[in-house]
Structure 1
Amino acid sequence: MKVKICGIRTIEAAQHAVQCGTNALGFVFAASKRKITALEAKKIIEALPEHVWKAGVFVNEDAATIKKIAETAGLTHIQLHGDENPDDYRSTGLPLIKAVSVKSPEDLEKIDTIRADYILLDSPPEEYRGGNGSRFEWDLAKAIGKSKGNIILAGGLDPGNISEAIAKVNPFMVDVSSGVETNGEKDLAKINDFINNAKKEREEV
C-alpha cells in the first residue's frame, strides 16, 4: 500500500514521514491553513530523496502559474482539487492527480470521463476543498480499486480507520492530512502509526 502525507510545511515532518516509509508528500498552494509558498516548499523538497513524490495541491489555478510554482519548488506531481479539466493542464508536463468529491454513486460514474493519471476520491468540500478531516461513505466506492489501478483514497482517514478504509475501497494509495495532526500541526507519532497501519493492512490482504 502506497501512502501520501499531505499538508507538509516543515522539513522535520517531511523527513520523518520518509523515514517511516511514505511514498508521497503533498504541498498545498491553495487557500488552506496548511498553505505554503513555492520557496518554502523548495527548501523542504531539496532535503528529500528523489523516489518520493512531491505533489503540489492547487484549486482552480491557471496552468502557467502551476508550471512556474512546480519548477521553482521541484514538484513531481500536480493535484487538481477544484473544478479543473485535467486536459487544460497537460502543459505542466507532470503527472496529474484529479480530486473527485464523492456524495453519491453518480459522482463515481464521472470517473470514467476524467483523463488524469490518478483519481483522488475525497469527501465533499467544506471550508476548504480538502483537508477537512471528514470522510465520505466508503461503501459507495466499495472495491473500486480492484477495477481501477489509479485510485487514491482521501477524506477523514486516520491511524484508527485506515485498515477499514483500505479493506473497503482497495485503493492504489491512501492520502492523509488532518488525520495525522494534533492541534493543527503534524504529529510525528500519528504519521508513524498511520503509515504502519496502512502498509500492514495491505500485507495482510
Structure 2
Amino acid sequence: MKLKVCGLSNPIEVETCINNNVNFCGFILNYPKSHRNISYEKVKNLLNINKNEVKFVGVLVQPNLEELKKFSQLNLDYFQLYGQYDCKSLIDIKKEFQKKIITTIQVKNKLDIENYKKVEDESDIILWDSTGYEKSVSWNHSWIKDIKIKGEKMIAGNITKDKLSDLSKLADIVDVSGALETNKVKDIKKIKEFIKHVKRINNEN
C-alpha cells in the first residue's frame, strides 16, 4: 500500500514526507475554499527541492485551460482532477501538458463508484473520494473491493490509522489529509506516526 499525503503547505511538511519516503505529496492549487489551498508562488518554492523518488501531485478542482497551462509549468508529476471528464478530454490534457493523471470519482452513493469506467483508459490512477472536498467525509470504502482497473486504485475520504489494515485490501494507495492535522494545521508527529503505521502494515502483508 502506497501513501499520499495531501494538503501540504510548508517546507517542513514536504521535507518530512520526502525524508520518510512517502510515495506522493499533494498540493491544493486552485480551491481557495480549502484552508489547505496555497498560492502559485508558494507552491513553486515548495517544489524546488530534491524530492528523491516522491511524486508531486497538483490537486485541481474544475480547472480551466489557463490554470492548466499555468500549473503545468510547476515541478509536478501528476494532475489530480476534480470535475466532469471523459477519455477524450484526458487525452488532450495529457498530450498538451505532459502530466500523468489522477482522475477523481466523487462518491455519494454506490452507483457513483461505476463512473470510473468513463475515464479508466486514460487515467494513470483512479481516486475514489467523498464529495466533501476540503472536509473529511466518510463513505463505504468496501464498495470498490471487487473493482479491477488498468491503473492503480486510490482511496480518500476520512482515512484514519485504524482503517488502514482493511483499506490495504481494497486499494493500492491511500490519500490522507485531515487525519494528519491538529487545528487545521499539518502535525509533523501525526505524519510520522501515520507513515510508520503504513510501513508496519506493508511489512505484515
TM-score using structure 1 length = 0.87
The corresponding residue for 2:136 is: 133
What is the SS of the residue equivalent to 1:14?
Answer: helix
Paired residues in the alignment total 196
The corresponding residue for 2:20 is: 20
Q: CA deviation at 1:175?
A: 0.8
The corresponding residue for 2:58 is: 56
Q: CA deviation at 1:9?
A: 0.3
Q: Render the CA deviation track for 1:81-118: whole Å, top value 9, x for unaligned.
A: 22344344222210011111123332222212213111
What is the SS of the residue equivalent to 2:168?
Answer: helix
What is the SS of the residue equivalent to 1:25?
Answer: strand
Q: Percent identity?
A: 28
Distance 1:162 1:131, change over 3 A: farther
Q: CA deviation at 1:68?
A: 1.8
Amino acid at match of 1:54: F
Q: CA deviation at 1:26?
A: 0.5
Unmatched 5+ stretches in structure 1: none
What is the SS of the residue equivalent to 1:198?
Answer: helix
The corresponding residue for 2:82 is: 81
Q: Render the CA deviation track for 1:61-90: whole Å, top value 9, x for unaligned.
A: 12342232231x311110002234434422
Distance 1:195 1:51, change over 3 A: same
Which range moves more in the overlay, 54-63 or 195-204?
Answer: 195-204
Confirm or deny: 8 A CA contact 1:60 1:84 kept in the other structure. Answer: no
TM-score using structure 2 length = 0.87
Amino acid at match of 2:140: E
1:153-192 maps to which residues of 2 (within 5 A)? 153-167=155-169, 169=170, 171-192=171-192
- Calculate the aligned-residue CA RMSD, in Å: 1.7
